[in-house]
Amino acid sequence: MNGMTELLRQLDAQGFTWRPTKRQHIMVYAPDGRLVTTLPSTPSDYRSMKNAIAVLRRAGFEWKGR
């Protein structure tokens, strides 16, 4: 399982919602419905996953990954 798939699975488990956009990005919403961040579906920058997780943690997400 790749990192993005694992991240989306954990977002679902913690009550966050997400939806793909027309341009292949993923919009992530907090459990209260507010937009938290937009993720690329295929991150090209090696820091992009770490930066996305940092933003999600500030919104209450608990990352249980590597």
Q: Is residue 64 part of a domain?
A: no
What is the rounded CA–CA span in Å between residue 44 and residue 29?
22
Of 41, 32, 34, 44, residue with least CA distance to 8: 41
Q: Is residue 39 part of a domain?
A: yes
Q: Which domain holds residue 54?
A: 3-58
Tell me: the pLDDT tens digits for 9-38? 999 999 999 999 999 899 999 999 999 999
What is the rounded CA–CA span in Å between residue 23 and residue 41?
9
Tell me: the pLDDT tens digits for 45-57? 888 888 989 999 9
Q: Is residue 34 part of a domain?
A: yes
Q: β-pairing, 25-29 with 35-40?
A: antiparallel
Q: Is residue 22 part of a domain?
A: yes
Q: Is residue 17 part of a domain?
A: yes
Q: Is residue 18 part of a domain?
A: yes
Confidence at residue 54, expressed as pLDDT on a 0 to 100 scale: 94
Number of domains in the chain: 1
**DSSP type of residue 42:** S
